[in-house]
Structure 1
Amino acid sequence: MMHDLLLSLQHTRPELLLAGFALAGVVIGAWSSPRAFGWLSWLAVLALVGAGALAIIDRPLAPVELFQGALVADGVGVFAKALIAFSAAATLLLGADHFSATGERRFEYPAMIVLAVLGMFIMVSARDLISLYVGVELQSLAAYVLAAWRRDDARSSEAGLKYFVLSAISSGLLLFGASFVYGFTGSIRFDAIAAAVGEGAGGVGVTFGLVMMLCALGFKMSAAPFHMWTPDVYEGAPTPVTAFFAAAPKVAAVALMARVLYEPFIGIEDQWRQVVTALAAISMVWGSFGALMQTNLKRLMAYSSIANMGFVLMGLASGVENGPVSALVYLALYLPANIGIFALIVAMRRDGAAAETIGDLAGLAQRRAWMAALFTMLLFSIAGIPPFAGFIGKLLVFTAAVNAGLVWLAIVGAVAAVVAAAYYLRILATIWFSPPAPAMQGASGAVVATATLTAALTFPILVFALGQIEAWARWAVGGSF
């Protein structure tokens, strides 16, 4: 028993580090001046990077059950935790600069980011229905606070309220579905559920419970038609918070959905594949066509994230051989471009106000050519235009779908990708060919470094290193499912 406890504590060092920092940060911040915001933010970045590094260092050779099967340490968990930690650290850097410029230096911000990441770490390691729900709710509670961060701003308050109400409904769906699964299989553990499902237990009741759970997870990852909160929350929340919502929670939701589909419910793959393919098709179409009508940058990125989650779901629906691998690689290549775009949006301030519309980018190439070049690289990558890194991600999910016999879904994805390219090119046309808008203020070194680094990760020469990323993803999936 003691050996199991020590082993569990060893493999949960990242979670313990995050929990310790969150508690210490709140206590220290409550007794410090607003100037503590700066160094607390940097300490939070170090804690996040340290947690990601610990997850990689402690990676097991084979799945290890923790705390009597409540959690698991395995490849998918390690891969997801690394992506979550490093993407959260990048967005936290954006927040430290942005809130210092706007005078909103409150110590709760880094603590809330770290608490949300802690919830995500629990999500991606969940091995039973209780730990799954606890992780989702811990992440959600911190996210409510972040969405409504500007309590004196009507749009931010509206964003927080909408997110809270709709997320509460999705949490109810998740709990409702989990109760059905427990009732018809007699267990909350994923391995026991898989055994019961394999023996034909539950039938329609288990399928109904799974559909409810998939609807709730679809909400968390902004998959249509459960995306209603996304455009308003992205627009109303502060831009660094929007960048965080567009990155880390998506990884956690996708990893959790992959674990739910391919562990306890692999025995009814034919049933859940219909649901996942429908979510993928609706998300790709709704997100791509919805973005065409947007002029607000953050609303456009909201619809873009909906469409991109559709591509990820197309990968997840493609079967255990290539599906989860293609989805994880797609996420790993999508995140840098997405964070980089938000970093550039944070960097563009005029008269103390952040850029909000596509028109604010007019003539950017004539005033700041380096920002225009970074925007071009990042948008080309997120659009999947070769030879940038995002093209490899789309190629993998399309190949997985075709090999799984989902040709119709691949065709829908191809149409959605063409439509998406149109609104990305509209942004680039404004940047390069429109008359210049008034000059903007200078950006901080941290924001510039974040944008430059993320753009570098999309550069064509790094495509040669992508084979290693796919190898890591195959190691992660092979050691988990």
Structure 2
Amino acid sequence: MFTQSLATAPQILNSVSHDFWPLLPEIFLLSAASVLLLIDAFSTDMDRKLSYKLAQFILLVTGVILLFQFPTSQDFLYHRHFIHDPLSATLKISMLVLTSLSLMFARPYILQRRILRGEYYLLHLFALLGMMVLVSGSSLLSLYLGLELMSLCLYALVAMNRREKLSSEAAVKYFVMGAIASGFILYGISFVYGVTSQIHVADIAAYLSDNEANLTLRFALVFIVTGLAFKFGAVPFQMWVPDVYQGAPTSTTVFLASVPKVAAFGLAIRVLVFAFAGAIADWQNLLIILSLLSMVVGNLVAIAQTNIKRLLAYSAIAHIGYFLLGIIAGNTQGYSASLFYILTYAITTVGAFGCLIYMAKGQQEISLIDDLKGLGQRNPWAGLLVSFLFLSMAGLPPFVGFWAKLEVIKAVLNVEGLIWLALVAAFMSIIGLFYYLRVVKVIFFDKAKNEARIRAERSLRLGLGITSIAVIALGLFPTQLLDFCQKAFQYI
């Protein structure tokens, strides 16, 4: 027996190493973040410079591991709770880059405020870990665990500026609404399990291919889509977005408005496309309602905003409406267009909120659109870069936002009976031009309230430069990123 065990040992080790390798980025991120937690606990550096550098180093190494083990196939591991495919790797790499940019903007901001700095970086890492688990989840259990790990870290990040009334209020609102959304999703999952007796997305899809979705399963789908709409901030579940974006520390809003949106996209694809492909007609109709309301309400309400963060919040709601168009199309062209849209939107949003940190003076923050007056006169280069970001969100060429909107609208145009939705999206894009161009007008054509030149940290200049130049470079050469997004869906 012992000899037989020795003979089978290499096979066991090979099997373990085969399963261990795809999960290595998550294992490294968890281990490194735990080590950083211990280092930070004994650190006497009040600025936590070492913690920041180590956090960026951890993100870099995790990204290198992901690139080296980028999958060329679709594998289900760990009793099919974990999926290793090009989609998950694409989303993880994107989230790592966006998180690194967010920390780049965050460090100068939190140094000037009484925010727990070591914990701030650690919460970003653990939130990212939850997102990575989420986008690789192939069962409702692993998807929900990843979602909750991400959400709990985000609640804490919103509340980091504990002495600010607006931050505390925003944290309570976000926690309550987030808990409700999680409850909706969990309630829907319980119904799915009750009907199908399955928790794996592949098994649920197999059940729906053999059986028609009954009333209970449709009821479960409504709850799950409602929870997803809360996470995205789609109308009519958007009530938390403006208050949280305004009340949270701007450095947290940079992260909150970008990276979790990419993770939520992964959740939507795993649940709707992988699990509920057999009920596409049901969730497609629900998403059409969410998309239409989000585009209309987001754009119209944004016109009346004078607070720059609330304007960007309602802009985000409108962008979610456009982004959902690709998923509504229900084909790989639409899914890759949605991924292309959410990635370009996330890059642009990081820069847009980052510019508010760039312009802040000490603890005095940029709150009104009028605070941007004369930026082009005081700092022409910064004014130009910020304008690039807003023009990209407006969807004007040659910026990447134009191609993103074009791709999702084209995806819907190719679906029979949805031409009207594409026309509504195009019309609402024209309306959205007003408030984006108003910001550009304020930057270049209004007289500055303060003639003093802006002196920003090197990391802020670097972050603003990367995001602004990216929207130009990707706008001039969109094919590379679009091909990258299309390859992510080659196994769907």
Contact 1:221 1:309 (8 Å CA) reproduced? yes
Aligned to 2:131: 120
Contact 1:35 1:105 (8 Å CA) reproduced? no
Aligned to 1:442: 455
Structure 1 residue 39 and structure 2 residue 50: aligned?
Answer: yes
Counterpart-to-counterpart distance in 2, 1:344 and 1:42: 22
Contact 1:348 1:440 (8 Å CA) reproduced? no
Aligned to 1:455: 468
Q: Within 5 Å, which residues of 2 pair with 1:382-461?
A: 382-405=393-416, 406-438=418-450, 439=452, 441-459=454-472
The CA deviation at 1:3 is 4.0
- Normalised by the size of structure 1, how large is the TM-score? 0.97
Q: Which SS does the other structure have where 2:477 is aligned?
A: helix
Counterpart-to-counterpart distance in 2, 1:53 and 1:465: 24
The CA deviation at 1:5 is 3.5
Counterpart-to-counterpart distance in 2, 1:416 and 1:20: 46
Counterpart-to-counterpart distance in 2, 1:440 and 1:184: 64
Contact 1:4 1:67 (8 Å CA) reproduced? no
Counterpart-to-counterpart distance in 1, 2:99 and 2:21: 23
Contact 2:51 2:118 (8 Å CA) reproduced? yes
Counterpart-to-counterpart distance in 1, 2:273 and 2:179: 26
Counterpart-to-counterpart distance in 1, 2:358 and 2:383: 12
The CA deviation at 1:8 is 2.6
Counterpart-to-counterpart distance in 1, 2:340 and 2:20: 29
Aligned to 1:313: 324
Structure 1 residue 163 and structure 2 residue 185: aligned?
Answer: no
Q: Within 5 Å, which residues of 2 pair with 1:24-35?
A: 24-35=35-46
Q: Which SS does the other structure have where 2:180 is aligned?
A: helix
Q: How many pairs are equivalent?
A: 479
Contact 1:167 1:219 (8 Å CA) reproduced? yes
Contact 1:7 1:66 (8 Å CA) reproduced? no
Instruction: Deviation per CA, 1:424-456: give whole Å up to 9, x if none.
Output: 011111111111111364110101111011111
Counterpart-to-counterpart distance in 2, 1:250 and 1:17: 23
Contact 1:184 1:202 (8 Å CA) reproduced? no
312-321 vs 18-27, which deviates more? 18-27
Aligned to 1:219: 230
Contact 2:159 2:171 (8 Å CA) reproduced? yes
Aligned to 2:285: 274
Aligned to 2:163: 152
Contact 1:351 1:441 (8 Å CA) reproduced? no
Q: CA RMSD in A?
A: 1.5
Aligned to 1:178: 189
Amino acid at match of 2:23: T
Structure 1 residue 470 and structure 2 residue 473: aligned?
Answer: no
Larger Rg: 2
Counterpart-to-counterpart distance in 2, 1:477 and 1:125: 14
List alignment gaps of at least 5 residues for structure 1: none
Of 68, 86, 89, the match for 2:100: 89
Q: Which SS does the other structure have where 1:263 is aligned?
A: helix
174-183 vs 27-36, which deviates more? 27-36
Counterpart-to-counterpart distance in 1, 2:172 and 2:453: 32
Contact 1:290 1:303 (8 Å CA) reproduced? yes
The CA deviation at 1:255 is 1.6
Amino acid at match of 2:413: V
Q: Which SS does the other structure have where 2:76 is aligned?
A: strand
- Normalised by the size of structure 2, how large is the TM-score? 0.94
Q: Within 5 Å, which residues of 2 pair with 1:376-387?
A: 376-387=387-398
Counterpart-to-counterpart distance in 2, 1:367 and 1:463: 27
Contact 1:53 1:82 (8 Å CA) reproduced? no
Of 365, 371, 374, the match for 1:354: 365
Contact 2:47 2:111 (8 Å CA) reproduced? no
Q: Which SS does the other structure have where 2:489 is aligned?
A: helix
